[in-house]
Structure 1
Amino acid sequence: MKPAAILSRLPTIIVVGSVGLAFVLAIGGRLTNDGVVAQTGSVVSTRELRFADGPEGSVVVTDAKDGAVVEVFTGENGFVRGTLRGLARARRAEGVGSEPAFRLTSWSDGRLTLDDPQTTQHIELQAFGPDNTIIFTKLLTANGAAK
């Protein structure tokens, strides 16, 4: 084969080789579970909570077990509002109302998660930093939280 013919095919060879390599690496990662985050901690405490809009743009947090008000967040808690907005959007998309409770869980490995059992939405709260995580951590213990 002439060198000019090889050079004209070189881009095709590179593209096909790159796609093939990506395919092999993807299958290898899937077979070995490389990159999969393992959930290693055990539950330390959990609490079922409901969040509702309150007067003047506040967010009212109640314990799903007894209906007691746990906390009322006013306008300064943008992280709480933003987190709940995302969860509410998923509920609306699936036709779920605001009545079912969310599950806030503290894990032995230091993680703090907020789950929506209705939509299977899962948020690793510690990923947003300690200042934002502490807001939700307080909800676990406020007003005699259950363990």
Structure 2
Amino acid sequence: MSDTTSRSNDLPRTPLIAIGVLLVAVIVGVAAVRLSGQSIRAPDGDAVATRALRFEDRPDGSIAVIDARDGALLESVQGEAGFLRGALRALARERMKRGLGPEQAFELVARNDGRLTLMDPATGERIDLESFGPTNAGVFARLLNVEPQPASAR
């Protein structure tokens, strides 16, 4: 009776082998694409709005957002502003690794397909902001339409 009981609890081998072969095939396929160097990104849509921005840390802990074309202060970001600070920290870290300073402006690009990209021309790095949700992307989207603040606000 023990032989009958042990055989009825065994899983069928054929489906398990098929699942194993499928998993190995998927892993090999993904590895082949990754190692080939082909881009898996969707092509960028046309730019509908672009703004060159510089970001400066201020002594009071705020971040000054400056239009790189004319030096106008667009906004002073107070408080945590976690997503903005995190995105800038990632780009600044890459600049530091390459021995680059903050002189060259970042580019904020809105595209006709609704995507928003923060690019660093100095390093070639980019952050596709819409990937982090509409609230986080909105933090940067408003910088495309902000009017410069008066000089006294600096």
Q: Paired residue for 1:130?
A: 134
Which blocks of at least 5 consecutive residues in structure 1 are unaligned? 1-16
Change in Cα spacing, 1:74 to 1:42, as seen in structure 2 (3 Å) is: same
Describe the SS at the equivalent of 1:50.
Answer: strand
TM norm structure 2: 0.72
Task: Please give the alpha-carbon distance, in whole angstroms, between the structure 1 residues aligned to 2:68 and 2:31.
Answer: 43
Q: Give percent identity, aligned residues only.
A: 45
Which structure: larger Rg? 2
Aligned length: 126
Greater mean deviation of Cα atoms: 135-144 or 122-131: 135-144
Q: Could you tell me which of 55, 58, 69 is aligned with 1:54?
A: 58
1:66 aligns with 2:89: no
Alignment map for 1:1-147 (pairs within 5 Å): 21=25, 22-23=27-28, 26-27=31-32, 36-143=40-147
Which blocks of at least 5 consecutive residues in structure 2 are unaligned? 1-20, 149-154
Change in Cα spacing, 1:63 to 1:36, as seen in structure 2 (3 Å) is: same
Task: Please give the alpha-carbon distance, in whole angstroms, between the structure 1 residues aligned to 2:121 and 2:128.
Answer: 15
RMSD: 2.6
